[in-house]
Homo-oligomer: A and B are copies of this chain.
């Protein structure tokens, strides 16, 4: 994967505040030449550095005020099918496969408790999933963010130069 250098981080930090910031303004704020900024932006597009889904919408603004984790045990032979099915459930925001006895951890949202029950059911019915357990989040203490990583992350181990692309 394309590794971001310090120039990228500065650019992305600015973009993070306003993704639609003008190239000219970006150049000023980062102290780079306009052409450079343009080239980087172009590269982000072509290389797909920025994830599809670059627009962060808080789920609550869509009416999804309830967060929860659904942990699922599954038949290991059907992992791919299960994942494929989960991917089709919009309320599943994230899903991870942890080391340990639980096989999949899904971060889901729902409109209300009833809706959460429905979502949990949908997950339980995914192929290969044998059992689920739901844990409601009382509070979203820190919402998903990458910004601090851009700003402070790295430090001593930071690269000054981008690693070879290919």
Which residues of A are in contact with B by a Cβ distance under 8 Å? 1-4, 9, 12, 15-20, 41, 45, 49-64, 67-69, 83, 86-87, 89-100, 104-107, 109, 111, 135-154, 157, 159
Q: How many copies does the complex hold?
A: 2
CB < 8 Å neighbour of A140 from B17, B59, B96: B96
Assess whether A136 is in contact with B98, with CB atoms less than 8 Å apart.
yes
Assess whether A55 is in contact with B54, with CB atoms less than 8 Å apart.
yes
CB < 8 Å neighbour of A149 from B1, B16, B59, B97: B59
CB-based closest 8 A-B pairs: A90-B148, A19-B19, A95-B142, A51-B56, A95-B141, A96-B137, A97-B139, A16-B55
Assess whether B154 is in contact with A56, with CB atoms less than 8 Å apart.
no
Q: A90-B151, A90-B153, A93-B144 are in contact. List 5 more A-B contacts (CB 8 A).
A: A15-B55, A18-B45, A93-B145, A98-B135, A144-B144
Assess whether A92 is in contact with B142, with CB atoms less than 8 Å apart.
yes
Question: How far apart sit A151 and B83, CA to CA, in the bound complex (Å)?
Answer: 19
Question: How far apart sit A41 and B159, CA to CA, in the bound complex (Å)?
Answer: 36
Question: Can you pick out 8 interface pairs between chain A and chain B where the beta carbons lie within 8 Å of each other?
Answer: A12-B57, A18-B45, A18-B54, A59-B146, A62-B146, A63-B157, A91-B149, A94-B144
Closest to A159 in B: B63
> Residues of B contacting A138 with CB < 8 Å?
97-99
Question: How far apart sit A1 and B142, CA to CA, in the bound complex (Å)?
Answer: 17
Instruction: With A98-B69, A136-B99 as known contacts, state yes or no: A64 contacts B149, CB within 8 Å.
Output: yes
